[in-house]
Amino acid sequence: MAGMFACCVADSQDDLPIEETVVKVVEKVPEAAPATPVEPEPVAKRADGSQVGFVLTFELPDKTMRDINFTSRPLGIDFSRSLPLTVKRVKPESPGLSQGVSEGWVLKYLAGASVPDTFDGCLEQLKEHVTALPTK
């Protein structure tokens, strides 16, 4: 029987199988500091401190953020009809197009404040800011 199970059974103490233990050494990598969110500029300001339009902050498909300052209306941007509020279309020859806004961008901040967590609240705040702009 010893020959049959040679890998597991030995005939004498000297022939006992040797167990090999593998120890993995893992170097502890220091944890990265958490990212500090950068709050967008709420509104653009003139030298005298008066407001020049308002800023929309978008998250781009590559997860970077971009602030766009609008100083006139209409913006020329069609948004999705649900949250997250996403750019569906940018109209030709519009402030949105001239500012470089693109389809797929997600609106994250309105004039420096986080986008409301309801579609109606978001739409209401967006309309409030846009209607305050002069018509181009």
Q: What is the pLDDT of residues 20-43, one digit of tens each?
A: 555 555 566 556 555 555 444 445
pLDDT at 13 over 60: no
Q: What is the pLDDT of residues 75-119, one digit of tens each?
A: 999 999 999 999 999 999 999 999 999 999 999 999 999 999 999
Amino acid at 82: S
Q: What is the pLDDT of residues 40-81, one digit of tens each?
A: 444 555 566 656 688 999 999 999 999 999 999 999 999 999
**Would the pTM count as exceeding 0.75?**
no
pLDDT computed for residue 68 by the predictor: 94
Domain 54-131 bears CATH identifier 2.60.120: no
Residue spans of the domains in the chain: they are: 54-131
CB-count exposure of residue 108 (10 Å: 0-12, 13-18, 19+): middle
β-strand partners of 56: 68, 110
d(C-alpha 61, C-alpha 104), whole Å: 7
d(C-alpha 45, C-alpha 135), whole Å: 19
